[in-house]
C-alpha cells in the first residue's frame, strides 16, 4: 500500500514492544460527543462507526481509547468494538486506567486494588481477552508523588496475561524512572505540541534516548485541551498554514511528528473531513526555517 492510499504510514512506523504501529493513529475521545464527556447530545452512532472503519482503511493501526470516554448514550470502547471487531491482526488498541467515571459521569480515581476492575471493564467493552497497551494515567494531584504502588499493581496484571505492554501518561521524568525500575515501559503519553515548555521537550528527548515512544495528546488542541483548538492561533502558526494552503491543525501535527521518529500522533476527531486532513499531516513537509520558527514559540 502506497503513502497515497496509506497516509498514516507516510512518516514510517515505531514499535511498542513487539507491536509495530504507523506513526499517525487515532484518539477516540471525540467519538462519543461534540464535547468530550458531554452528557448532552451524542454524536451520530453510524457516523462514528463509519469514521473508525475509514481510519483503518487509511492505514491507522493504533487507536487510543479509555473506558471513561463516554457521553450520555455513547461509549468509545463499544463503538470501536462495533466498528472493527473482529479486529485486524495489526491493530493496536491502547487504553488508560487510574481515572474512572461513574454512571452519572462523576470522576473517581482507582486504588491499586481497583485497577484490575478497570482493566476488566476495558476488556469487556472492547471484547478482548487481553489489552495491547495500558497507560497508567497519573492524576494532577500526584504529579510530584510516587506512582510505584499503582504501577506495580498494573505490572502484576501484565504478568497475569491481561495486559501485553505498559505505558505511563502525564508523568514527570522522575516518575518515568520509577516505573521503569518496576517493569518495562513502551510509551509515554503526555500533553505536547507547539508552544510546550522546555521541560516537556526535555521529556520528549529523553524518551527518544531511551527508545520509548512519545505519544503526545492535545497536539492540535494546544491550550484548548479537551474543549478543542484554542479560538486563536499565533500569527506564526497561521502564516505557515497559509504558505502551504492547509489548515492550522495539519501544521501542528506535522511539526509534532517532526520532533523525532519515536513521536506517535493520536489526533482525535469525530468528523470524517477532519480525519482525512489529519491523516495527511505526515505528508506536509515543513522547511527547516518554518520548523525553527514554530519551535521558537515554546519554552
Q: Comparing C-alpha atoms, which of 103, 128, 216 is closest to residue 167? A: 216
Say which DSSP state 41 is in. Answer: P
Which residues are within 8 A (CB) of 55 and not within 5 positions of it... i.e. 6 or more apart? Answer: 8, 26, 63, 275, 279
Q: Comparing C-alpha atoms, which of 33, 129, 29 is closest to residue 72? A: 33
Q: For residue 176, what is its C-alpha cell?
A: 518515568
**Is-contact 66 94, C-beta < 8 A?**
no
3-class SS at 109? strand
Which residue in 14, 68, 69, 214 is the catalytic one? 69
Which neighbouring-strand residues pair with 15? 20
Which residues are within 8 A (CB) of 8 and not within 5 positions of it... i.e. 6 or more apart? Answer: 22, 23, 24, 25, 55, 58, 59, 60, 61, 279, 282
Verify cis geometry, omega within 30 degrees of 0, for the bond prior to 86.
yes
Q: Compute the chain's Rg from CA coordinates.
A: 18
Cell 510505584 belongs to: 148
Task: Indicate if 69 belongs to the active site.
Answer: yes
Q: Comparing C-alpha atoms, which of 113, 102, 19, 17 is closest to residue 61? A: 19
Q: How many CB atoms lie within 10 A of CB 162?
A: 19
Q: In whole angstroms, what is the distance from residue 149 CA to residue 238 CA?
A: 45
Residues carrying an active site annotation: 69
Amino acid at each position: 500500500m502506497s503513502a497515497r492510499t496509506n497516509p498514516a504510514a507516510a512518516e514510517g512506523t515505531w514499535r511498542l514492544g513487539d507491536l509495530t504501529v504507523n506513526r499517525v493513529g487515532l484518539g477516540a475521545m471525540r467519538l462519543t460527543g461534540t464535547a468530550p464527556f458531554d452528557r448532552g447530545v451524542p454524536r451520530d452512532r453510524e457516523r462514528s462507526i463509519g469514521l473508525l472503519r475509514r481510519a483503518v482503511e487509511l492505514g491507522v493501526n493504533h487507536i487510543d481509547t479509555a473506558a471513561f470516554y463516554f457521553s450520555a448514550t455513547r461509549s468509545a470502547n463499544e463503538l470501536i468494538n462495533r466498528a472493527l471487531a473482529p479486529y485486524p491482526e495489526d491493530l493496536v488498541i491502547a487504553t488508560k486506567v487510574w481515572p474512572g467515571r461513574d454512571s452519572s459521569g462523576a470522576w473517581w480515581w482507582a486504588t491499586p486494588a481497583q485497577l484490575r476492575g478497570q482493566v476488566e471493564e476495558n476488556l469487556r467493552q472492547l471484547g478482548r481477552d487481553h489489552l495491547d497497551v495500558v497507560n497508567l494515567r497519573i492524576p494532577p494531584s500526584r504529579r510530584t508523588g510516587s506512582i510505584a504502588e499503582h504501577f506495580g499493581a498494573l505490572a502484576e496484571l501484565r504478568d497475569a496475561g491481561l495486559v501485553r505492554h505498559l505505558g505511563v501518561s502525564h508523568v514527570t521524568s522522575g516518575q518515568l524512572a520509577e516505573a521503569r525500575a518496576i517493569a518495562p515501559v513502551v510509551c509515554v503519553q503526555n500533553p505536547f505540541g507547539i508552544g510546550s515548555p522546555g521541560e516537556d521537550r526535555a521529556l520528549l528527548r529523553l524518551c527518544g534516548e531511551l527508545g520509548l515512544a512519545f505519544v503526545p495528546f492535545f497536539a492540535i488542541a494546544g491550550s484548548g485541551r479537551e474543549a478543542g483548538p484554542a479560538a486563536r492561533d499565533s500569527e506564526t502558526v497561521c502564516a505557515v498554514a497559509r504558505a502551504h494552503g492547509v489548515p492550522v491543525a495539519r501544521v501542528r501535527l506535522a511539526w509534532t511528528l517532526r520532533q523525532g521518529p519515536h513521536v506517535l500522533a493520536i489526533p482525535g476527531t469525530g468528523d470524517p473531513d477532519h480525519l482525512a486532513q489529519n491523516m495527511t499531516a505526515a505528508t506536509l513537509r515543513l522547511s527547516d526555517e518554518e520548523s525553527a520558527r514554530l519551535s521558537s514559540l515554546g519554552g
